């Protein structure tokens, strides 16, 4: 599963390399890209990670997969770890890229790091403020994110950037804002409740982050080890967009993790 501001296309250098030994299902997150969906409620209802995770577990069951591994980047990683928490019977292995759990994310957004996480606050503003603001400068916002978060020149090709832009429609923007509102109003307290109750992820967890992504400079492994008993991983030579900036390194790591 992909992250903001991308679509399933971000896996085009990774997914084909997994198909020799795995069946690979790649999707657009709810409301992103070609995954059409109604706008959410005022607080993001309909786009909580619990709802998105449940819908995807149901979809996988319809496709004939009752148990599977999940790989998620950025926003997709948030859906992925919620799938593992809520549906341990379904998730065999979990790989997350460039994130820590949402409650930890908001807790660490202070000082200089807070500036890098502007989507968490901007896109969560009440409707229609966020939607109108983003839609008015959609191309500038998207290209700024792609260029400023990447560390590898040319890793995100013009074709990819144009594809992400074409999917950044007013309808998608409304859903994306709903998903960010849900992160603040629903997912954050949900994570806090899980943490207080001592709920943990039962599956093995692989964690990667971009070595050149400043906000992850201290590494998130210590955080994830508070949420799961089996956590491995490390930095990859990349900025934020690991699937496109370090596809070979990521693919090699996923092969080892999924085949273990």
Examine the residue annotation and report whether 240 is marked as an active-site residue of this protein: yes
- Which of 8, 73, 208, 240 is catalytic? The answer is 240
Residue with tokens 């899980």: 194
Cα-Cα end-to-end distance for the chain: 21
Q: Is the peptide bond before 128 cis (omega within 30 degrees of 0)?
A: yes
Given 2, 28, 74, 86, the catalytic residue: 74
Query: According to the 3-state scheme, what is the secondary structure of 183-199?
Result: HHHHHHHHHHHHHHHCC
Distance, in Å, from the CA atom of 207 to the CA atom of 260, rounded to the nearest integer, reads 15
105 backbone dihedrals φ, ψ, rounded to 5°:
-60, -50
Chain centre distance of CA 57: 16
- How far apart are the C-alpha atoms of 228 and 211, rounded to whole Å? 22
| Contact present, 163 and 9 (Cβ < 8 Å) | yes
What are the helix (H) ranges across 124-227?
129-136, 138-149, 158-166, 170-182, 188-197, 221-224
Question: Tokens in use for 20?
Answer: 């020799």
**Whole-angstrom Cα distance, residue 56 to residue 232?**
25
Q: Residue 19: count other Cβ atoms within 10 Å of its Cβ.
A: 9
Burial class (CB within 10 angstroms; exposed 0-12, middle 13-18, buried 19+) of 129: exposed
The residues that are catalytic are 74, 240
């Amino acid at each position: 599963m992909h992250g903001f501001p991308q679509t399933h296309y971000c896996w085009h250098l990774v997914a084909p390399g997994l198909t020799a030994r795995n069946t690979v299902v790649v999707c657009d997150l709810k409301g992103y890209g070609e995954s059409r969906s109604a706008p959410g409620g005022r607080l993001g209802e309909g786009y909580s990670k619990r709802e998105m995770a449940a819908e995807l577990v149901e979809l996988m069951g319809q496709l004939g997969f009752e148990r599977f591994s999940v790989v998620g980047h950025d926003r997709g990683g948030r859906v992925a770890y919620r799938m593992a928490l809520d549906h341990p019977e379904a998730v065999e292995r979990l790989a997350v890229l460039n994130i820590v759990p949402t409650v930890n994310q908001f807790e660490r957004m202070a000082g200089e790091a807070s500036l890098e996480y502007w989507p968490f606050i901007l896109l969560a503003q009440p409707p229609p403020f966020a939607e109108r603001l983003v839609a008015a400068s959609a191309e500038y916002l998207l290209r700024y994110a792609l260029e400023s978060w990447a560390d590898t020149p040319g890793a995100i090709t013009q074709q990819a950037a144009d594809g992400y832009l074409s999917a950044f429609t007013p309808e998608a923007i409304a859903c994306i804002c709903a998903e960010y509102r849900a992160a603040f109003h629903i997912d954050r307290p949900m994570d806090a409740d899980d943490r207080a109750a001592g709920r943990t992820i039962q599956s093995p967890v692989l964690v990667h982050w971009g070595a050149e992504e400043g906000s992850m400079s201290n590494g998130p492994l210590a955080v994830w080890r508070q949420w799961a008993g089996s956590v491995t991983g490390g930095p990859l030579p990349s900025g934020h967009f690991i699937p496109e900036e370090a596809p070979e390194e990521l693919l090699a790591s996923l092969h080892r993790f999924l085949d273990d």
